[in-house]
Structure 1
Amino acid sequence: MTIIESKATVNKPVNEVFAFLSDLTNHQQLMPENIYNWSATRDEARFTIQNMAKLAVKVASRTENQQIVIVPSEEAPFAVELKWTLADNGGGTTAVTHTISADLNMMMKMLASGPLQKLADHQTKRLAAVV
């Protein structure tokens, strides 16, 4: 299992960050330019990654003000889990950890680890900017 992680501090209370991340319609604001054909509801999202694949994901679980777990809702090119973990830093700020766990063989790991790390970093950076 390949684990990719990105962390950020968001200058908003944990409940506001959780409310934003809990609704998958908001996640379009976190995506890089190579994501298109976006459609989403609160619990599911569909999109295309340029030159790669179409993905459909859904919220598997929400733990109030602590964690959101997102998994594929249809067959994906590889097993993957997206996890947002939140912690109240006090003073109205929130520590956010975005973890992508992907079951990649050696060849896929060489091809996909860099883009997945860029995606995680981009999303945490955008989260701090848009929430």
Structure 2
Amino acid sequence: MNLESPKVTVEKSAQYLFESLSDVRNFEKLMPESIAKFEVTGADSFIFGLKGMPEIKLKMKEKNAPSQVVLGAASDKLPFTLTGNINSLSENSSEVQLSFDGDFNPMMAMMIKGPISKFIETLAANMHKL
């Protein structure tokens, strides 16, 4: 299952966004208002929970400066990645798109598609808060 957020233009340099997204503590600023829990569990991982959803632990998997940050599920039960693609438009402007890629059975995919789509759209829309 592959979902993508709309592309969002942010008045920040690609390097600034890359560094901000590389610090997992900054993801708290991007979370939707329905967040029930956010806890940094290490230099490269955090747990978050949205109301009515199970808690998810994300871990930094890969960083390609200044254009890409890849987070992945820390658990093998729900294998997925959340990738932030950063495209520099000018010295002080960048475009960001989040992409969610998960390997789920059709029933699970059907259940989580709506909430995950909304979640990554919210993360992208909040990029200006970094």
Give 1:52 deviation, angstroms: 2.1
1:97 equivalenced with 2:88 (yes/no):
no
SS of 1:119's partner is helix
State how 1:26-41 maps to structure 2 within 5 Å.
Answer: 26-40=26-40, 41=42
Structure 1 window deviating more from structure 2 (38-47 vs 62-71): it is 38-47
Q: What is the one-letter code of the residue matched to 1:73? A: A
1:115 is matched with which residue?
A: 115
Is the 1:22–1:42 Cα contact (8 Å) retained in structure 2? no
Give 1:101 deviation, angstroms: 0.6
Distance (Å, rounded) in 2 between the aligned partners of 1:89 and 1:38: 31
2:8 is matched with which residue?
A: 8
CA, structure 1 residues 109+27, in 2 after alignment: closer, same or farther (shift >3 Å)?
same
2:58 is matched with which residue?
A: 57
Q: CA deviation digits over 1:35-66, x for unaligned, max 9?
A: 22211144100122322212111100111111
- RMSD of aligned alpha carbons: 1.4
Give TM-score, length-normalised by structure 1: 0.90
Structure 2 unaligned residues grouped into runs of 5+ = none
Give 1:33 deviation, angstroms: 2.5
Q: What is the one-letter code of the residue matched to 2:12? A: K
Give 1:91 deviation, angstroms: 4.2
Is the 1:83–1:100 Cα contact (8 Å) retained in structure 2? yes
Percent identity reads 25
Give 1:19 deviation, angstroms: 1.1
Number of residues paired by the alignment? Answer: 128
Give TM-score, length-normalised by structure 2: 0.90
Give 1:104 deviation, angstroms: 2.1
Give 1:102 deviation, angstroms: 1.4
Distance (Å, rounded) in 2 between the aligned partners of 1:93 and 1:15: 10
